[in-house]
Amino acid sequence: MPSACPVGGGRVDYRLRHGSYPAPRTQSRKNAEELRDWVRRHGDARQKEAVGRVRRIIRAGDGESGDAYVSTDINGGTTPVRDPLATAGAVAEAFAAWKGAEQGRVAVYDVFGNPMITARAF
């Protein structure tokens, strides 16, 4: 039986569907560490506490613009979060300040992959 798509055996390449390949796990963890380091030096107390929850940051797009997806341990880390939405908001604010870009969006997800903050402009 012929494939519906002559290239790739019927599967559409991830890059064609999403514009680029996902960041490797090591890069996403490195991005998270860079954010935590920046916030340690420049963030307020609320941001410092919140970014300790960040596990990975995956960037989509090029340069300083584009979307960012922030994976956290909110709602499942070793210590409970008193106000998960406020913590996610502080993560989004810290990310926007770290990037200092004029366009783009950040989304913050809890430990289960549920969106906490979506499409926050930065």
Tens digit of each residue's pLDDT (9 = 90 or more) over 17-47 = 555 555 556 889 999 999 999 999 999 999 9
Residue 90 predicted with pLDDT over 90: yes
Percent of the chain with pLDDT over 70: 71
pLDDT at 61: 59
pLDDT band at 94 (very low <50, low <70, confident <90, very high): very high
**Counts of helices then strands in the chain (DSSP H, E):** 4, 4
- Cα torsion angle, 62, 36, 103, 109, sign: positive
| Ordered alpha helix ranges (H), 20-83 | 25-42, 45-51
Torsion angle of alpha carbons 46, 113, 67, 55, nearest 10°? 50
Work out whether strand 54-60 and strand 105-109 pair parallel, antiparallel, or are unpaired.
unpaired
pLDDT at 78: 80
Q: Give tens-digit pLDDT for 44-70.
A: 999 999 999 999 998 865 555 668 899
Q: How far apart are CA 113 and CA 30, in angstroms?
A: 20
- Beta bridge partners of residue 106, listed in sequence order: 68, 120
Percent of the chain with pLDDT over 90: 47
